[in-house]
Amino acid sequence: MKFTVLTIFPEMFSALLRGGIVGRAIEHQHISVEPINIRDFAKDRHRTVDDRPYGGGCGMVMKPEPMAEAIRHARKKDPEACTLLLTPQGQLFNQRVAQELAGYPGLILVCGRYEGIDERVREHLVDNELSIGDYVLTGGELAAMVVIDAVSRLIPGTLGSEHSAQEDSFSTGLLEYPQYTRPRSFEGTNVPEVLLSGDHGAIRQWRRQASLVRTVLKRPDLLMDQPLTTGDLEFMKKLQQDIKTIIEKHCE
């Protein structure tokens, strides 16, 4: 996967490129990340990338010419890539969208700044718009990093074990089960016995059930259109029955 980032702050990406799983994925050539400075495509002596909005109002708008030139340059280098504008007005980014984007050979991430970008760039030069949440950042750079991070870990080879991305929250449609490591007892709390049992079937079942309970408590919305097995439903019915019995006992 090739990520090209169009930004007026390319240096913001250096931390992402150097460290962690993304850094290692670049080193191992599973992905590449190339920040390109939109300012390099400005034609004037001051390398201007913004201007006052027509019709008045506060703030500045990113000029269309340098952005258009930068996008065309990136597209020429990676014609198969999908061009995405990071903006709070975009489609909400989630795990499903990350999976969809991981299927492209390349992504061109266009980061806006100031009060916005010229509407003609949005209309004619991007394939889609993405938002990472219902809040307004000072620019698209942090959003682009979120997209790079979430999509990268879905690229085969990027994570140490191929299983890690398949089992994590949202990929199974459920929240992740609790994890434990040594010591067995920490500040008075023990690791659940089943995890020490070596019984892989029992561990799998415990994890699935722990995921179900967590999801019911924290994000019940995720379960509404999630396929559940008969085992899942039986477990939930038993839980429901147990809760009912407890309530009845206390109301006697």
Q: Does 88 bind ligand ADE (CB under 6 A)?
A: yes
Catalytic site residue 78?
Answer: no
Catalytic site residue 162?
Answer: no
212, 172 contact by CB (below 8 A) = no
Contacting ligand ADE within 106-135 (CB under 6 A): 131-133, 135
Amino acid at 177: Y
The span of 24-32, 85-93, 100-108, 243-251 binding ligand ADE (CB under 6 A) equals 85-93
Catalytic site residue 44?
Answer: no
6, 74 contact by CB (below 8 A) = yes
Measure the CA–CA gap between 127 and 60, rounded to whole angstroms.
24
Measure the CA–CA gap between 34 and 16, rounded to whole angstroms.
11
Q: Does 140 bind ligand ADE (CB under 6 A)?
A: yes
DSSP 117: B
Residue from 54, 55, 123, 136 that binds ligand ADE (CB under 6 A)? 136
Catalytic site residue 35?
Answer: no
Q: Does 148 bind ligand ADE (CB under 6 A)?
A: no
Q: Does 87 bind ligand ADE (CB under 6 A)?
A: yes
Query: CA 241 → CA 19, 200, 212, 223, 251, distances in Å?
Result: 49, 27, 16, 19, 15
Name the residues that contact ligand ADE, by CB under 6 A. 86-88, 131-133, 135-137, 140, 143
